[in-house]
Structure 1
Amino acid sequence: MISTSKYYAAAIKSALLAVLILCTYSCSNNDSEPTGDGEAHWKISSTVKSVSGSSAIILSGEPGTRWYAELTEGAEWCSFSSKDFANAKTKNGQLADGLNVLYVYYKANTGKVQRHAQLTLRYAENPEKTFDLIQLAESEELLPAFNTWAELPAKVDNSNYQYVTHYGLLNNKTLRNYSICFDKTKKAALWVAYPIHDVYTTKNIPDRTNRWAFDPTIPISAQANCVEYSYKGSYDRGHQVASADRVCTDEMNAQTFYMSNMTPQASSLNGAMWGTLESRVRTNSCSDTLYVVTGAYFENDNTTTFDGAGNLVPIPTHYFKVLLRTINGKTGKKIEDCAPEELKSIGFWVEHKAYSGGIPTEICKSVKEIETKTGFTFFPKVAASVKEQNAPRDWGIN
């Protein structure tokens, strides 16, 4: 028979051993690597030029989280190493404090067609995220589909103009984001044309990206340099297509922060009436799509400022918007298939100054009037009678 003292001693010893095992297990779990999911996005764009180079994916999440990347398509011309295109098709690492960057290197595309690569990224044991990379063909340009998309003005041939369309991926489909007519002498877009629809304005990102960057399709020397700092004086980096118009994906929102979409816009206008007008435009979105052209007009080059790097740039004397949509909003028809009585349009001509109150009706014009002022032809497939309309109340403006 075991004595009582020996019995209690054995029980205490067993209990201490159980506590030690439990503590060891618990401490081991507490010291394990984080398993949370992280965020990732292209730093600039998923579309790159035909020349060789690199693109960056920004990684973020809980420090200590492990990540794993693999090139699943395009491995013959893409790599995670600039020195080894044969073997560096996978890469892994651990998130650290501060900036985490995954570089994807690519060879020059000397072919006649663009090509597509794909990579997957996984944090810990979480589901994979898929990233597409599109490389343009040699001499290929991302030109707007003139005479096809309803929002596009008629093309004007001018050696100082560069036309570009930016695209983004949404639900595995490539959609146009916006198109521009960029004037290299003004270092600004004379117009930016874009559709507004729920697919673009349904918020799928936590906040605006604020990733100010040069437009990768336009020579840097032709763009204002406000990547690090805004224009000098009381001028903001004023969007033409608003950040809030593109909150569907990180990439499409980031593209609105290209320098080609910026002009030096007075803070007293940008943060007040102009912002109110942008919001009012969005409220007129419809199932049939709202088509918008926003532009900057330079009556003269007498007023100038400096960009963030100290380069002289002209300041627009006016801004404008022209809008077009179906009256019903849900016809399911293309614009060119609609009768004139099924459509409505309006324009806004905004002097570059501060305004008091809401949206003044005196800035409301017909599209035809703004065509006369700017020299551009808007909505070229639409009858003249539609472009002569000017009914602010039909657009929620009293």
Structure 2
Amino acid sequence: MRLIQKYCTNVVKIVLLTTLIFSINACSKDDSETTSLQNEAYWKISSTVSYAEGSSAIIITGKPNTAWSAEITEGSAWCSFSSKDFVNSASKVGTVKEGLNVLYVYYKANTGAEQRPAKISFQFEGGAAQTFDLNQLSQVQQNLPAFTTWVEIPERKENANYQYVTHYATLSNKKIRNYSICFDKTRKAALWVAYPIHSAYLGSGGRTDAWAFDPIISSIYQANCVDRSYNGAYDRGHQIPSADRLATTEFNSQTFYMSNMTPQLNRLNQDMWAKLEAKVRQNNCSDTLYVVTGAYFNSVATTTDGAGNSVSIPTNYFKVLLRTKSGSTGKAIKDCSDSELISIGFWVDHQSYGNIEPPRSICTSVAEIESKTGFKFFPQISNAVKQQNNPTQWGIN
């Protein structure tokens, strides 16, 4: 743009009419590209926050100098656009500027026994108003998985060190599940992460890299790798992959919670494991693919997180998969016969396999992984289905 403007100025100085017309057209073209910028506002991380006081952020993007307005229409007694004034700061106006635009929503601690909702109305000048829901949990509340309803959820296993959580996000104005976890506070890691895969979740958005603590689990139990990775040759290894949740920014951001991370060798994470994740995505279907990914700990090996705190290193990782054989029955899993279902398990040693496609040697049955981990997966299906181990059905050669 600067080069064009400089060129336009030089043309005016020498008063060459034909070149001036050319320059004006060139400048007009550049302006039309600027006006094509779309105005957009979205939660940076999540619309669900913990009971403790804090703030959440709405990211604003669009054409510079576009005016916008925001108003807290519900929850203004505990929500504000100012951290210092919860009485007179329920509305705010501004204009889109070059670079990062952030609207912070501050909230007080929830001392009640129930979660509470707030609503923020946001509108670009000349555009339709959109509503942002903010849900603050109570101190005793968890977003528990639907243990007997959702196909991917393993049976609940009672343990004082386990915390079960489900994260939700909004898609097409409907709040739906993103994923569920069984989080081990002593390991600072999830033992399993359960989630559905469907084209509606995959989307075409981008990776957010929105590293953050899980707002539902106390940060004292989570590894602190928000600003940097684990010490040594370990990546912040996702259990539910970022690439499985590209439908919206909120869906993707939630995969960057510390509760979804483990210290995973970079040459496993970026090579064979990444190829296994891609292979799993290729098996999505209209009936929905159900996945549980987990970490298994069978040693006392540790590393440190980005803040220098000790964290356990998994000895193995696993995945268990379930779907209909045809992929398009239109039936619920519980209504399918054994012959209509396929399943498989993958048991992966925590080591470098090289940059190779997933080998048949990691393939096993869901029943075998149940035996190794002590968890019962896919409780809606028979043990006969869980005994299957046919890699070719899943594209493993």
Q: TM-score, normalization: structure 2?
A: 0.86
Task: Give 3-state SS (helix, strand or coil) of 2:287's partner.
Answer: coil
2:332 alignment partner, one of 319, 331, 334:
334
d(CA) in 1 for partners of 2:94 and 2:268? 46
For residue 126 of structure 1, report the CA deviation from its aligned partner: 3.4
> SS state of the match for residue 317, structure 2?
strand
Q: In the alignment, what sits opposite 1:45?
A: 46
Q: CA deviation at 1:37?
A: 3.9
Greater CA drift, 238-247 or 50-59: 50-59
Shift of 1:51: 4.2
Match of 1:148 in 2: 149
1:247 deviation in Å? 0.7
Map of 2:292 onto structure 1: 293
Is 1:181 the counterpart of 2:182? The answer is yes
Q: 1:37 touches 1:126 (CA, 8 Å); kept in 2? A: no
2: CA distance between counterparts of 1:138 and 1:262? 24
Q: CA deviation at 1:98?
A: 4.4
Does the residue aligned with 1:271 lie in a helix, a strand or coil?
helix
Please give the secondary structure, in 1, of the residue aligned with 2:200: helix
**CA distance, structure 2, for counterparts of residue 35 and residue 147 of structure 1:** 48
- 1:237 corresponds to: 236
Consecutive unaligned residues in structure 1, runs of 5 or more: 1-22
Post-superposition offset of 1:82? 3.8
Counterpart-to-counterpart distance in 2, 1:222 and 1:64: 43
5 Å-filtered alignment, 1:341-380, equals 341-356=339-354, 357-380=356-379
Deviation string, structure 1 residues 59-110 (Cα, Å, up to 9, x no partner):
3345443321122333454332344444433211133444432122334445
Kept in 1, the 8 Å contact 2:189–2:261? The answer is yes
- Residue of structure 1 in register with 2:68 after alignment: 67
What RMSD, in angstroms, separates the aligned Cα atoms of the two structures? Answer: 2.3
1:1-398 correspondence to structure 2 within 5 Å: 37-137=38-138, 139-203=140-204, 205=205, 207-301=206-300, 303-356=301-354, 357-398=356-397
* Structure 1 Cα separation of the partners of residues 118 and 200 of structure 2: 25
Query: Secondary structure of 1:148's partner?
Result: coil
1:43 is displaced (CA, Å) by 2.8
Paired residues of 2:38 and 2:61 also in contact (CA < 8 A): no
What is the deviation of 1:397? 1.1
2:92 maps to amino acid: K
AA at the equivalent of 2:322: L
Q: Which amino acid aligns with 1:295?
A: G
Tell me if structure 2 keeps the 8 A contact 1:119–1:132.
yes
Distance 1:258 1:352 in 2: 22
1:50–1:224 distance in 2 versus 1, CA, 3 Å: closer
The letter for the 1-side match of 2:331 is K
| Range with greater deviation from structure 2 (221-230 or 51-60) | 51-60
> Deviation of residue 289 (structure 1)?
0.9
* Contact 2:345–2:365 under 8 Å retained in 1: yes
Could you say if the C-alpha distance between residues 194 and 78 of structure 1 is closer, same or farther in structure 2, counting changes exceeding 3 Å?
Answer: same
- Secondary structure (helix, strand or coil) at the match of 2:228 reads coil
Shift of 1:128: 3.2
**Alpha-carbon contact 1:366-1:387 (below 8 Å) kept:** yes
Q: Give per-residue Cα distances to partners, 1:345-392, cap 9 Å, x unaligned.
A: 000000111114211001000001111111111111210000000001
CA distance in 1, matches of 2:388, 2:305: 38
CA distance in 2, matches of 1:156, 1:307: 28
1:130 CA drift (Å): 2.9
Larger radius of gyration: 1
Which one-letter code corresponds to 1:169 in the other structure? T
- Select between 99-108 and 324-333 the one with higher mean Cα deviation: 99-108
Aligned residues of 1:35 and 1:65 also touching (Cα < 8 A): no
- The 1:138/1:267 distance shift into structure 2, 3 A limit, reads closer
Whole-Å separation in 2 of the counterparts to 1:253 and 1:394: 29
Q: What letter corresponds to residue 336 of structure 1 in structure 2?
A: K
- Aligned mates of 2:52, 2:265 — CA distance in 1: 38
Contact 1:347-1:370 at 8 Å conserved across structures: yes
The one-letter amino acid paired with 1:355 is Y
Q: Partner residue of 2:15? A: none
- Partners of 1:35 and 1:333 in 2: CA distance: 43
Specify the code of the residue in structure 2 equivalent to 1:240.
Answer: Q
Give how far 1:112 is off. Answer: 4.8
* SS at structure 1 position matched to 2:236: strand
2-side partners of 1:89 and 1:232: how far apart? 43
- CA–CA distance in 1 between the matches of 2:166 and 2:131? 23
Q: 2:239 is matched by which residue type in structure 1?
A: Q
Give the conservation status (yes or no) of the 8 Å contact 2:44–2:249.
no
Structure 1, 38-47 or 144-153: larger mean CA deviation:
38-47
Paired AA for residue 370 in structure 1: I
For 2:37 and 2:180, the matched residues in 1 are separated by: 38
Deviation track 1:226-254 (CA, whole Å, cap 9, x = no partner) reads 10011122111110000010011100100
Contact 1:232–1:306 (CA under 8 A) maintained in structure 2: yes
Work out the number of aligned pairs and report it: 367
